[in-house]
Amino acid sequence: MNGKTQGTGPVIAGRTINESDIVMLLVGLNMKDRYVMPPENMGNRKPSDASGGIMQRDAFKAVGLNPNKSVRDQLGGPNGYDYTLHASKSDARSFYLELEPEQTGQKDIWYKFTGKPGVELRSAPDISDEQIVRTQQGAETVARLTEALKIYNIPPSHLQLALNTGDRSAIGADMARINDAGQLPQFSADAVNASLPVTQNQDGSVATNEQIEMNKVRNEVMADNLHATILSELLLHQKARTKDGQFYKTPDRIAHEVNDKLLQLNTLRVSLGVKQQEPLYYSVDKQIELFNLGQPYSRNDIVRYEVLTKFADLVTPESAFSKPAFSWGNSAEFLPSGDQAFKERLADIDKLINQAQAGKLVIYDYTIWKHYANKPVDSHQLGSKLERKLFELANAGAKIHITVDRSVAFRDPSVLMVNPDSYEVLGGLLAALAGHENVTLCFFNNDERGTPGDSNHSKSAIANGYSAKASAIVGGRNIHGDYFYGWMDAEFKIQGALAQSIQRAEDDMWNQQARMHNKPELIRSNPSYEDSGKFGDIIGLATHEMPGPTSSFNGLIGVLCGLEISGYTFTLIQAYVLPPIPGAKLDPTLEAIKRAVKDGMIVNIVTNSPQTIDVPQISGAIVKYAAHLLDEVNGMPDATGVLRIFMKQKWDGDGGGTLHAKVAYDDKWYVSDTSNNLHANGFLQHESQRYYLDHTLNESVRTWGKALMDRSDMYTSSLKLKEMAAAIDTENAANPMLNALMNLFPYQL
């Protein structure tokens, strides 16, 4: 631990440790299965119950200690003190620890350790060298956290209470205070950097210069997730409110509202007499009848319009925004190949450049979570390539509207160096583009409303969205080579009225931000849309979801609606599958899956494995939730269907890393693509969604999904998943830095 005596006490991680810290540093990772934790602080005087002399060697084993190993190493305390053990006169299962400061003029400190009931101390396993190393690392982590939290006036006792007992009530109140002061984003970054220094890799090894740069990105991602976890918990439990005094709805209220809306589709199935394992959105009986009559028919003859109307109602955002509706005559091309998808982007822009140079009106709306520069390193340099092409477009005379997430943009000056007070762009990859006379840049944030955690997570590129030939590329990819090559993701290229609907959703978001930030000149009032011609046979709907106290949670509802309207098989592909409403007694995801499986459906959920996840804090939570779903669903006595969980394998080459796609489909016509993850972060993010009905598009997406499932591990029982979760917990416990962070702020299951 590299402690030393200096000043008034030992110095650990560059700070002086006082008496109140010592009890925290006696974390005893190798002792907690034997002794009541934390040890009892007896003060500066020798307790009357302590034996008069030093504890004899043969008494060590009676209290579960090894006489041949250092007492300090076995207990996990700091350097700078002499450690002496004294037996208890009244209890053979207890002993006293006397800490005598090496520096003269300081008083001794006494602690009492008591064995846990039912633990046989004499036969307790010997303490290994590896346990001693982990104990020392744990003490160092607590010291760093203590120093980081000290800046925010968090008492050491609050940290001790959360880490040693799991009681987070005191530190939760600290989080509410820090959030009210606007310090939660910086606190999240400080806590992560204290727990996981960028100079250390996740396995505890010392990082090289190249690894340090990668670890900086790792810590930024973890800080984002930590901030979102804390803020969503504060908002959903009414520990934080907006500046105008609004509270978010409680978790139970949200869960019931979401489930009640999904039940409306289930009720509609019953009232229409639609059989189980039959799609709700079109009539199989009508299809068979027309076929047997030998009459030519179109899909419009068999679609259930009342179902589409109800679906559109359920995925409608709050009243301040446009009401979505299904449109006909669209085309949608599935773009699972990242290389093809990026080339399509550049080809679209080249066409727009030609139009602008010919004097035509060209408008390009580009919304992204993050347009990367080279952090982390991007060997494909996609950020630079797209920036140059957009600059060509602006020079040709096109009007470009760019929306980036403010919190993401501010933390990476290599993309945008921004004055946080004036929002003036000072440098970075997109600086010249942002300063072009034909470019308007919007930083999405809801700071004025008082929820600075809100962010834009939607991704879209809309070409001439008001024209008859509107087109758009939508999906899950951010602009970095990882998303297009290393990871598995997906996008769709859309033409027709559906592309105009995506533009309407974009206008909703843009106007909301303009009004909130008091920029009336940016409001798009009553834009004119040309009549769109027919581009294909796809029926489609596009909408979006805004975060906030008045949100209708239509994005979450849309993700789950497919379970209600599909027939025999439904497949949900998601980067993260977690309880979307932490703390709610009712889980609408579980309830929707139960209804589907009871009706005989095969429900497939495809998500990341611990080997492919990009956010280490939640790998264990994903596995535990998957096991929970399987226990609850496949254990139902009246189930005639089955739930299958698929976890993506890792491989070298394209798509071998993280699964980042958010796509769903059934075995007939239905397809959805969204920016939503099945995760509580959705409460803090602007998201967008598209829903399609088309058998050809469905087949192409289904073929891709089948290939992904073939390269995934399937689970229909929770047994192996529970073993996996236990292994993850053990691995996390072996990493004191990550474990401390997860114990302080766990994802709430």
Over residues 26-47, the pLDDT tens digits come to 655 456 677 776 678 888 889 9
Boundary residue ending a domain (538, 553, 571): 538
What pLDDT is attached to residue 12? Answer: 47
What is the average pLDDT score of the chain?
A: 89
Residue 478 above 60 pLDDT? yes
DSSP secondary structure code for residue 208 in this structure: P
Q: Tell me the two tokens of residue 311.
A: 């679906």
What pLDDT is attached to residue 306? Answer: 97
Q: Helices 554-565 & 251-272, crossing angle to 10 degrees?
A: 30
Question: What confidence category does residue 190 fall into, taking pLDDT thresholds of 50, 70 and 90?
Answer: very high
Question: What confidence category does residue 6 fall into, taking pLDDT thresholds of 50, 70 and 90?
Answer: very low
The percentage of residues in the chain with a pLDDT greater than 70, rounded to a whole number, is 92
| Cα→Cα distances 466→119, 398, 501, 531, Å | 73, 14, 9, 9
Q: Model-level pTM?
A: 0.85
Contact 364, 463 (CB under 8 A): yes
The mean per-residue pLDDT over the stretch 467-476 comes to 97
115 lies in some domain = yes
Residue 5 above 70 pLDDT? no
Structural domain including 422 reads 322-538
205 lies in some domain = no
What pLDDT is attached to residue 1? Answer: 29
Residue 570 above 80 pLDDT? yes
Question: What confidence category does residue 159 fall into, taking pLDDT thresholds of 50, 70 and 90?
Answer: confident
517 lies in some domain = yes
Question: What confidence category does residue 18 fall into, taking pLDDT thresholds of 50, 70 and 90?
Answer: low
Contact 351, 398 (CB under 8 A): no
293 lies in some domain = no
Which string of b and e fits 309-338 if b means at least 16 CB within 10 Å? ebbbebbbbeeebeebebbbbbbbbbbbbb
Residue 4 above 50 pLDDT? no
What CATH number is attached to the domain comprising 335?
3.30.870.10
Q: Tell me the two tokens of residue 459.
A: 């991704």
pLDDT digits (tens, 9 = 90+) for 604-626: 999 999 999 977 678 899 999 99
What pLDDT is attached to residue 688? Answer: 97
Helix or strand or coil: residue 673?
Answer: strand
Residue 746 above 90 pLDDT? no
CA dihedral 224, 229, 233, 239 (to 10 degrees): -40
Least confident stretch, 8-22, 29-43, 435-449, 499-513: 8-22
Q: Tell me the two tokens of residue 561.
A: 């609606």
Q: Give CA–CA dist 579/545, Å, rounded.
A: 18
pLDDT digits (tens, 9 = 90+) for 301-346: 999 999 999 999 999 999 989 999 999 999 999 999 999 999 999 9
Top pLDDT among 205 and 651 is at 651
Structural domains in the chain (count): 2
Top pLDDT among 145 and 438 is at 438
Residue 542 above 50 pLDDT? yes
Residue 25 above 70 pLDDT? no
Q: Give CA–CA dist 495/55, Å, rounded.
A: 82
The percentage of residues in the chain with a pLDDT greater than 90, rounded to a whole number, is 60
Boundary residue ending a domain (127, 155, 170): 127
Question: What confidence category does residue 749 fall into, taking pLDDT thresholds of 50, 70 and 90?
Answer: very low
In 3D, which of 525, 514, 505 has the Cα closest to residue 462? 505
Listing DSSP states for 634-662 in one string gives HT-TT--SEEEEEEE---SSTT-S-B---
Boundary residue ending a domain (76, 108, 127): 127
Contact 428, 373 (CB under 8 A): yes
What pLDDT is attached to residue 27? Answer: 52
pLDDT digits (tens, 9 = 90+) for 231-270: 888 888 899 888 888 999 999 999 999 999 999 999 999 9
Residue 10 above 80 pLDDT? no
429 lies in some domain = yes
Least confident stretch, 74-83, 368-377, 406-415: 74-83
Top pLDDT among 152 and 734 is at 152
What pLDDT is attached to residue 16? Answer: 60
Q: Give CA–CA dist 674/687, Å, rounded.
A: 7
In 3D, which of 661, 669, 670, 674 has the Cα closest to residue 708? 661
What pLDDT is attached to residue 214? Answer: 86
Contacts of residue 44, defined as CB under 8 A and 6 or more positions apart, other chains included, come to: 107, 108, 109, 110
Residue 525 above 70 pLDDT? yes
Q: Tell me the two tokens of residue 242.
A: 């907006």
Contacts of residue 260, defined as CB under 8 A and 6 or more positions apart, other chains included, come to: none
Residue 117 above 90 pLDDT? no
Question: What confidence category does residue 114 fall into, taking pLDDT thresholds of 50, 70 and 90?
Answer: confident
38 lies in some domain = yes
For residue 23, how many C-alpha atoms fall within 13 Å in the half-sphere facing its CB? 23
676 lies in some domain = no
242 lies in some domain = no
